[in-house]
Structure 1
Amino acid sequence: MIKGFAQRARAEAFHRALAVWLYRMAAIVMFVAGVVYWIRLVGIEDGPLYRFDLMPLWWKIAAPTLAVLYPVAGIGLWLTVGWGAVVWVLIAIIEAIMHLGFPQLFGPNLLWLGFHLWGLGMLGAVRVIGLYERRRLRGY
């Protein structure tokens, strides 16, 4: 009985550590992406899309939105709260609409969309495994 409890506790601790690690790595990427969008807005680099007043209208709408949402998602993911993943899903939907729906305006950024898909898939898998483990431990 005690051996089974110890194994369950170790499995639960491993799952929690894996989930926290995934959340924190995604949070760092979200913070970096947010900084990149803020660099675009304030015009630190040269180029037509790297200064807000020179951007076309569609980028003037998308860039500030993502510049705010990325750090918010990063904070939520770093704190490992549920709304961090929800904001990440919102970001992924916005960028999918941008890059898949309007590639002539925003360009096709399939690598970044792949990151969103992979990261959210891994996050979903960790959540499903955690749910399965909790149900198994309770004996349902």
Structure 2
Amino acid sequence: MAADSVHVPKPSLSETVFGLFLRLVSISCFWFGLGYWAMLIGFSLGGQGRFDLLSLPWRAAATTLAVVYPVAALGLWLLVSWGPVLWVVAAAVEITMFEVYPQIFGSRPFLFTLHLAVAATFVIFRAAIAYQRSRQARAARIDLP
């Protein structure tokens, strides 16, 4: 390496674990997306969830989630900023489906709990990383002459 190369700081343990967490969420998003695709093409639910057999609300919601979940999975896997944003969109759609309109979509209380746990874990990780970076920045200012 040249002496004038840019020094890239080594990621902290919390940043590394946060990246692993995002990749695990990415795998689950991809799994949920595959589940919606399997339903829409008639592979699951004994063919009862095929797109042409669904009601209009289910068509809109299932096709939206079948597209948003895999794209969110890609963003989460690549650790880019739009990945969590798309996950929030997908989670909001599912929470709205199953908590606000249970008469149309049914009820899945465990799904709400799962999304809430992932969101809380995400916020805790982001807060820990922000605190760690502020401490490092403060230490760097104190050490300067």
Which TM-score applies when normalising by structure 1? 0.87
Aligned to 1:41: 40
Which string of whole-angstrom CA distances, capped at 9 and with x for unpartnered residues, describes residues 82-112 of structure 1? Answer: 1100011111111111111100111111111
Deviation of 1:13 after TM superposition, in Å, equals 2.2
Cα distance in 1 for residues equivalent to 2:30 and 2:90: 13
Task: List 4+ stretches of structure 1 deviating above 6 A.
Answer: none
Count of aligned residue pairs for this structure pair: 130
RMSD: 1.5
Cα distance in 2 for residues equivalent to 1:105 and 1:47: 19
Cα distance in 2 for residues equivalent to 1:101 and 1:13: 40
Aligned to 1:17: 16
Deviation of 1:47 after TM superposition, in Å, equals 4.5
Pair 1:123 & 2:122 matched: yes
Higher helix share: 1
Task: Indicate the structure (1 or 2) with the bigger Cα radius of gyration.
Answer: 2
Provide the secondary structure at the position in 2 that maps to 1:139. helix
Structure 1 unaligned residues grouped into runs of 5+: 1-8
Pair 1:136 & 2:139 matched: no
Cα distance in 1 for residues equivalent to 2:66 and 2:130: 33
Name the amino acid aligned to 1:14: L
CA contact (8 A) 2:29 2:73 kept: yes
Aligned to 1:100: 99
Provide the secondary structure at the position in 2 that maps to 1:43. coil
Aligned to 2:71: 72
